Amino acid sequence: MNGELLDEIVSINIEDNQKAIALNQRSCLGKIEGDILELSLIEATYLLEKGRLNIYIGDEKVNLKYLKSLIRSKQIHDKYIVFRDLKDRGYVIKAGFKYGSEFRLYERGNNPGEGHSQYLVKIIYESENLKVSNISSYARVAHGVKKSLLLAIIDEDTDITYYTLKWTRP
């Protein structure tokens, strides 16, 4: 399957392309706009890494090294490694910027349109100084939209540890 990189979106023409339609319907990747499947840079990098997508800029084929340098320059590489880790574990993930989180996470077996996401994913760094009030605020926002908070803590070796938080009123 081939896609074209335009700015921060990889576009795939879905006209007579059953693989692209299946990618959206089964894997819940991208969004369909007319006869185009639009993938974010994170989704496209994941598919390129898995060998399921070829990406072009004009007639020139883009390699994984180029795409990873692009997501590093846009400062979304850490989002990519969390996305890749959760996707490899079988979860459905969608962008969650609306609630101040990086992603919305669906339990295995649930998909967007069939149910609601169970978690908001917030990425923090092991070396980052955090206030308890900030973590409480993240949990309160998640609770406000009837979700749990999944903290993805990235250490210096880019290993990820996950914690689930729920906000409760004592």
Q: Indicate if 113 and 148 belong to the same structural domain.
A: yes
Catalytic residue selected from 79, 87, 122, 147: 147
Q: Is 106 tagged catalytic?
A: yes
Do 143 and 111 have their domain in common? Answer: yes
On whether residue 41 sits in a domain, the answer given is yes
Minimal CA–CA distance to 117: which of 135, 97, 92, 98?
92
Regions of the chain where pLDDT drops below 50: none
What was the pLDDT predicted at 96? 60
> Domain range spanning residue 49?
2-73
Contact 56, 2 (CB under 8 A): yes
pLDDT at 90: 87
Read out DSSP for 62-86?
EPHHHHHHHHHHTT-HHHHHHHHHH
Give the CB-side neighbour count of residue 67, counting CA atoms within 13 A.
28
66 as an active site residue: the answer is no
Write down the pTM of the prediction. Answer: 0.87
- Angle CA(41)–CA(155)–CA(70) in degrees, nearest 5? 20
Q: Under a CB-based contact definition with an 8 Å cutoff, are residues 24 and 32 in contact? A: yes
Distances from the Cα of 169 to the Cαs of 4, 136, 139, 140, 143, in angstroms? 49, 11, 12, 10, 11
Single residue among 73, 101, 132 that ends a domain in this structure: 73
Whether residue 27 contacts residue 33, with contact meaning beta carbons closer than 8 Å, is answered with no
Q: What is the pLDDT of residue 116?
A: 80
Known active-site residue 147: yes
What pLDDT score was predicted for residue 67? Answer: 92
Return the biggest CA–CA distance within the chain. Answer: 60
Q: Are 81 and 158 in contact (CB under 8 A)?
A: yes
The catalytically annotated residue of 116, 125, 163, 166 is 116
Catalytic hit among 106, 119, 122, 138: 106
Q: What is the CATH number of the domain that holds 30?
A: 3.40.1170.20
